[in-house]
Amino acid sequence: MDTEFKTLAPLLRTLWAETEKGGGTMLFCQSNNQEVLAENILGHLQNLGRDHSPTVNHYSLTSYKPKPYAPFLDECKHFFESYNAGEILTFLNQHQVYYYHSGVLAEYLSSGTAIRREGLLPGELDYESFRMQGSIRNILQGVYASHPVIFLIENAHNLPRSTLRLLKMILKSGGDLPFLCILSAPEVV
């Protein structure tokens, strides 16, 4: 199985070089043994960075019902642990988070729960979803603007639609988010 991963090292180096330049990149891997794949990927990622080792966030989504925008919104929540609610709101405003989402996102990022208080019109759900994705993307950009990040997500077939839409937006939005996302899922026969 080791020979299987030898081609992975140069690919990861190339993708990481693009990420360090500020580009968003995604890699999808299929394996019936995702744990071994993740161990090999993590081993290759240790000394990739030119100036420093990359920040690697590793997740294994074993549940079929992870939270919306998992794991990205929770990763942002960890970033804000030392911030108070006012500082979080200031950060969100500085990073152009949609006005109607800034309060609910600030509440979630400071406490882990949030309740939206204004109503929604059914005809606006797609628009609201698009704006929420943009808001979370802007938060991620603010959090990771100064240091590129790698997300390694096992069992990507369990990702919620909200996360898949967010990833699509991140990749389509250009190269201003230094972000490498490595997704793995079981092989499909």
Would you write out the chain's pLDDT as a tens digit for each of its 189 residues? 455 667 788 888 888 888 877 777 888 888 888 888 888 888 877 767 556 567 888 888 876 677 888 898 888 999 999 999 899 999 999 999 998 889 899 999 998 887 777 776 777 788 888 999 999 999 998 988 877 888 999 988 889 999 999 988 888 876 677 888 899 888 764
Q: How crowded is residue 15: how many other Cβ atoms within 10 Å of its Cβ?
A: 19
Whole-model pTM? Answer: 0.84
Per the CB < 8 A criterion, the answer to whether 8 and 169 are in contact is no
Per the CB < 8 A criterion, the answer to whether 16 and 24 are in contact is no
Paired sense of beta strands 55-60 and 179-185, if any: unpaired
Distances (CA, A) of 52 to 47, 90, 108: 8, 29, 31
**Using CA atoms, how far apart are residues 102 and 96, in angstroms rounded to an integer?**
9
